[in-house]
Amino acid sequence: MMSERAQLTGFLLLLGCGWGLTTPLIKITVSAGYQPFGIIFWQMLIGAVLLGAVRWRQMRRMPFSLRTLAVWLMIATIGTLIPGTASYRAAFHLPSGVMSIVIATIPMIAFPIALALGNDHFSFRRLGGFALG
């Protein structure tokens, strides 16, 4: 029987492999002629339905007002629609390897920014993960 730590490590590796496959799959998808807004629509719809069901089960009621709707739309636009469209447009023109390198730099840029803003703390373990990235 596997230990919990080994199971979690295996799950983390599985998630990493899945994330690593996204760039070649995006390249295949956009090269086949699918448009960014269609891909983003289905991604957001599936995610919203699944996470909405989980949230509804936890709360039984979703807080819904014009203010929450405005926040949700702003987050969707700034966090998904604009970067997703740019990413899919770039994937059409750039090789998959270049896209993988560019996408992998995002967390590497976020760590020093989080340190500078005081949102994270420095540790050699985190620095080791940063160096491995």
Q: pLDDT tens digits, residue range 62-103? A: 778 899 999 989 998 998 899 889 989 998 898 888 888 888
Secondary structure (DSSP) of the chain: ---HHHHHHHHHHHHHHHHHHHHHHHHHHHHTT--HHHHHHHHHHHHHHHHHHHHHHHHSS----HHHHHHHHHHHIIIIIHHHHHHHHHHHHS-HHHHHHHHHHHHHHHHHHHHHHTSS---HHHHHHHHH-
* pLDDT tens column, 92-131: 898 888 888 888 888 788 888 999 999 988 889 888 887 8
- Rounded Cα distance, 88 and 9, in Å: 30
Give per-residue pLDDT as tens, 1-45: 679 999 999 999 999 888 888 888 888 988 898 998 898 999 889
Residue that wins the pLDDT comparison between 35 and 56? 35
What is residue 8's predicted lDDT score, i.e. its pLDDT?
93
Does pTM surpass 0.75?
no
